[in-house]
């Protein structure tokens, strides 16, 4: 088990488009275990492989209060999305300290593979739906701040660069 470094916005690597997972081997199991360890340690409810500089379509999630409902989602596709939308306050482990409202489909149905490579379907509502859409965006190289106004996004970018410069000096 290992903690993986999380890429921080505006790292250009966060805009990499992930490729499908093709090998369901021991290396993948290790990556999944390391991603869960990293996500739980960072108090996140989800983590996309992109955020740990691994560019395959792999997500780990756990939106439960009790942190005992791990979910592995590989090669996800949206089967359907509700026309009903919801606005939720989002944060991101790659944009620490920034929270803002994003509108998403309230319900999504996804098709995906589990860690054994078995086909699955899942209908997700509310927070799980939001989290799945947030993580699938990461796999497409998209970070939630890209939904905010250019003014807000530029302020966030400047703040992140400054924070990273100060962290590197200390
Ligand atoms: O931990 C996280 N919380 C969160 C809250 C609202 C909407 C999305 C998220 S995902 C985020 C972890 C993360 O950055 N995943 O990519
Ligand atoms: Ni994120």
- Give me the mean pLDDT over the 19-38 stretch: 98
- Give me the mean pLDDT over the 75-93 stretch: 98
Q: Reply yes or no on whether the pLDDT at 71 is more than 90.
A: yes
Q: Reply yes or no on whether the pLDDT at 107 is more than 90.
A: yes
Question: Helix, strand, coil proportions of the chain in percent (round to 5)?
Answer: 35, 25, 35
Helix spans in the chain (H): 26-41, 126-139, 150-169
C-beta 93 within 6 A of ligand 1: yes
Atom of ligand 1 nearest to the CA of 48: 16
Q: Which of 48, 131, 145 to mutate to test the pocket of ligand 1 (most atoms within 8 A of CB)?
A: 131
Output the residue whose Cα is nearest ligand 1's atom 7.
90
- Give me the mean pLDDT over the 15-32 stretch: 98
Q: Reply yes or no on whether the pLDDT at 97 is more than 90.
A: yes
- pLDDT score recorded for residue 1: 85
Output the residue whose Cα is nearest ligand 1's atom 14.
92
Ligand 2 ion local residues (Cβ < 5 A): 92
- Name 7's bridge partners: none
State pTM to two decimals. Answer: 0.98
Name the residues annotated as catalytic.
135
What is the Å distance from ligand 1's center to 96 Cα? Answer: 10
């Amino acid at each position: 088990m290992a903690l993986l470094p999380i890429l921080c916005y505006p790292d250009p690597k966060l805009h990499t488009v992930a490729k499908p997972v093709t090998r369901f081997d021991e290396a993948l199991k290790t990556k999944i275990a390391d991603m869960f360890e990293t996500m739980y340690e960072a108090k996140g409810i989800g983590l996309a492989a992109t955020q740990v500089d691994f560019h395959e379509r792999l997500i780990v999630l756990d939106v439960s209060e009790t942190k005992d409902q791990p979910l592995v989602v590989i090669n996800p596709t949206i089967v359907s999305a509700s026309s009903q939308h919801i606005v939720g306050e989002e944060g991101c482990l790659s944009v620490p300290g920034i929270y803002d409202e994003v509108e998403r489909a309230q319900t999504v149905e996804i098709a995906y593979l589990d860690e054994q490579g078995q086909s699955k379907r899942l209908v997700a509502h509310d927070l799980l739906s939001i989290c799945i859409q947030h993580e699938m965006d990461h796999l497409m190289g998209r970070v939630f701040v890209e939904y905010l106004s250019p003014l807000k996004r530029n302020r966030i970018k400047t703040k992140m660069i400054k924070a990273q410069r100060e962290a590197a000096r200390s």
